[in-house]
Amino acid sequence: MNKIKMTERRYLPEKQQGAALVIGLILLLIMTLLGITAMRGTTLQERMSGALKDKDIALQAAESALRDGEQQVETVVAPDFSVAGWYDSGDGVTRPDWKNNPDDPAETGDGGVIDYSGSIQWKHAPQYYIERLPAVTEDGASGSMALGDGSAKEEYSFFRVVARGFGNNGNTVTVLESTYRR
């Protein structure tokens, strides 16, 4: 009995030894896979947060340019539409197509754009253009209702400012638009 048992016993340790190796190997494989996966996830997350940051840089850049454009509208000039970046309603000049082609640095329309030069070193400088919207009629409730006396009934007070900003990666672009009344 013992002999048989012993014989049986003899077999078993041999099998056990082989399983441990396999299991060890499998575990090792799992660990490796886990490790690799974890590493890949971290890298992905790192990549993901990097793109987010870049998008944020682009947004801030675009907003800076937008505000610079609004500042121009508010303070600077009687619009001179021969200056790059200024468009008048109905002038037939092709605007930059930043909706469909936002990341092409050469996409500056036929009338040009204005670079926003902040203190930051940009991959591409944020840009904007200003479009004067059609004159609007001033309402009669606060002013003279007189007709035909030669006084202009309309005032150009609305402007559209469109700005784009780039992230550190030239493919990250944010395009913003605002309507501004002065």
Taking the complex as a whole, how short is the minimal distance between the CB of residue 112 and other proteins, in angstroms? 19
Token pair in block for residue 60: 């801030």
Token pair in block for residue 51: 């793109």
Q: Which of 12, 22, 106, 147 binds other proteins (CB under 8 A)?
A: 147
Taking the complex as a whole, how short is the minimal distance between the CB of residue 118 and other proteins, in angstroms? 19
Q: What Å distances lie between residue 96 and 29, 123, 128, 163, 181, CA to CA?
A: 55, 19, 9, 10, 22
Question: Do 84 and 111 touch, CB atoms closer than 8 A?
Answer: yes
Taking the complex as a whole, how short is the minimal distance between the CB of residue 135 and other proteins, in angstroms? 5
Q: How many residues bind other proteins (CB under 8 A)?
A: 44
Q: Which of 43, 144, 168, 171 binds other proteins (CB under 8 A)?
A: 144
Q: Is 178 in the site for other proteins (CB under 8 A)?
A: yes
Q: Is 123 in the site for other proteins (CB under 8 A)?
A: no
Q: Is 83 in the site for other proteins (CB under 8 A)?
A: no
Q: Is 164 in the site for other proteins (CB under 8 A)?
A: yes
Token pair in block for residue 147: 């007709």
> What gap in Å lies between CA 147 and CA 144, rounded to an integer?
9
Q: Which of 85, 102, 126, 167 binds other proteins (CB under 8 A)?
A: 102
The DSSP-derived string for 75-107 is II-S--TTSTTEEETT--PPPP-TTT-TT-TT-
CA 130 to chain centre: 20
Residues 43-62 that bind other proteins (CB under 8 A): 59
Q: Which residues of this chain interact with other proteins, rule CB under 8 A?
A: 59, 70, 74-78, 88, 90, 98-99, 102, 134-135, 137, 140-150, 152-155, 157-158, 162, 164, 173-182
